[in-house]
Amino acid sequence: MDMASYTYLNELAKLVKAGRVTEAQIDAMVMPILVAKFKLGLFENSYIDESKIAGVMNDPASAQLARQAAQKSMVLLKNDGQMLPLDKSGKKYLSIAVIGPVADSGPAQVGFWGGMITGGSDVVTVVAGIKAKVGTGLRVESAKGPNIRRVIPSTFDGLPSIKLHDQPVQSAAVAQAAFDEAVATAKRNDLVVLVLGEEALMAGEAASNGTLRLAGRQQELMQAVVATGKPVVLVLINGRPLDIAWAAENVPAILEAWEPGSQGGHAVADVLFGDANPGGKLTVTWPRIGGQSPLYYAHTLTHQPETAPDFKSRYQDMKSTPLYPFGYGLSYTKFTVNNLQLSKPTKKVGETIGVSADVQNIGSVAGDEVVQLYIHQQYGSASRPVRQLKGFEKVTLAPGEKKTVHFTLGKDELTYWSPVDKKWVLEPSVFDVWAGGDSTATLHGTFEVVQ
């Protein structure tokens, strides 16, 4: 299989003739692909019935699964004063403004690869999802604000096989009018759901960024909307962390929806109005600004490690810590993780050790928590990361419910590739263990590996 380089097509026959590659080698490389095609039934039925595509794409069961998947993938980053979930009864708010350049964008929700196929034509957007959720109980208005687009156009924009396009270029006057209308829409409604982020062509393949700033005038729009004094919820539709340091200080509630797919609008509304309790966790470390990148939790100790008593920051103008750590995510309820237990204080190389901890829902509603297990090897033939995720378990707990989660640490979890010995090693050492809700967990224990 050759992904568009044409190397095999242009060179492989010549290499066989020259004796540098054998036909047996080619057969060995081709066989797994043929086996996969055989298991898929492609030799018996090589073609699909195109008349069935619509039925498959619009299968209600698939749509429900897509909605649930989107709900579970969203990460609640901030919820000051328990602003979320929102009240849809009309007792607190009579009208909602849904504002932003991706609030009603199908392509943004399905992302680059999904948008290539459908162009986002059958997507339930955030605007549509919120309108469906509140029905006639609340008035919903939407305003896009100024368009956003790539600074350097995408090579994929306009290709016949790809149904994706940048948002159109606007004159300064048209963009300003859209900006003013968005702010006016915020002013005449009781609550604002601000939907910011990236269009499909801004993320994915061939879409690296030099900064993490919000594209176009989104930052300016957010600040103007917040300045109206209306309560604001920020929903992010994006394929990577963005610079939301200002929002983290000034917006009371932030929901990271990523690229939530064809049912994303329904899923966002489910979470915003409390019909689904967010339980997703960050799979990346979220920097304060792009200048902190690369930033990751599993780094090795530096010349001024975080464990030093006088450690403040590697930067003189900001904290070294991320805006949100790896594994982080809030819920509409609260959890505690305690009672870390190790099955034994010492183990021999090749043996396993059990780790357990109790997780309890101390809030008032049912919710999901992901208990995460991290380790650190204190010494060895090479410097080891300050923390490494070695296990996690997602649990659903009713209010007041407690559960004990169990992990096993053995050869697979404790072995690493030694740059000194040039092989996989499991070394005698003392290991730290932490358990909790993210990579900054403080519940701690130690064990020793001996020969």
| Vertex 27: Cα angle to 26 and 32 (nearest 5) | 110
pLDDT of residue 204: 87
Which pTM value belongs to this model?
0.91
DSSP string, 368-396: EEEEEEEEEE-SSSS---S-EEEEEEEEE
Which domain-ending residue is among 220, 252, 272? 272
In a domain, 159, yes or no: yes
- Domain of 386: which CATH number? 2.60.40.10
Q: How far is 133 from 271, CA to CA, in rounded Å?
A: 11
pLDDT of residue 389: 98
| Residue 129 CB-density burial (10 A; 0-12 exposed, 13-18 middle, 19+ buried) | buried
- One-letter amino acid for residue 360 of the chain: Q
pLDDT of residue 140: 97
In a domain, 110, yes or no: yes
The total of structural domains in the chain comes to 3
Domain range for residue 21?
A: 7-47
- Residue labelled with tokens 């004990």: 404
Same domain? For 31 and 156 the reply is no
- Domain of 122: which CATH number? 3.40.50.1700
DSSP secondary structure code for residue 264 in this structure: H
Taking a C-beta distance cutoff of 8 angstroms, is the pair 369, 441 a contact? no
DSSP secondary structure code for residue 344 in this structure: -
Tokens standing for 40? Answer: 């898929």
Distance of CA 316 to the CA centre of its chain: 29
Which domain-ending residue is among 218, 250, 272? 272
Q: Of 257, 235, 322, 310, which Cα lies nearest the Cα of 286?
A: 322
In a domain, 319, yes or no: no
> Quick one: how many helices (H) and strands (E) in the chain?
11, 16
Q: Of 188, 203, 200, 39, which Cα lies nearest the Cα of 105?
A: 200
Q: Of 75, 47, 56, 32, which Cα lies nearest the Cα of 279?
A: 75
pLDDT of residue 157: 86
Tens of pLDDT along the chain (451 residues)? 888 889 999 999 999 999 999 999 999 999 999 999 999 999 998 888 889 888 887 889 999 999 999 999 999 999 999 999 999 888 999 999 999 999 999 999 999 888 777 767 789 999 999 999 999 889 999 999 999 999 999 988 878 777 888 899 999 999 999 999 999 999 999 999 999 999 999 998 889 999 999 999 999 999 999 999 999 999 999 999 999 999 999 999 999 999 999 999 999 999 999 999 999 999 999 999 999 999 999 999 877 777 778 888 888 898 889 999 999 999 999 999 999 999 999 999 989 999 999 999 999 999 999 999 999 999 999 999 999 999 999 999 999 999 999 999 999 999 999 998 899 999 999 999 999 999 999 999 999 999 8
Same domain? For 120 and 222 the reply is yes
Sheet order of strands, 335-342 included? 335-342, 353-361, 402-409
Same domain? For 43 and 58 the reply is no
Tokens standing for 169? Answer: 């270029």
In a domain, 174, yes or no: yes
pLDDT of residue 299: 92
Same domain? For 360 and 421 the reply is yes
Give Cβ neighbours of residue 441 (< 8 Å, ≥ 6 apart): 337, 372, 374, 434, 435
Tokens standing for 33? Answer: 């692909």
Give Cβ neighbours of residue 179 (< 8 Å, ≥ 6 apart): 145, 146, 217, 220, 221, 224
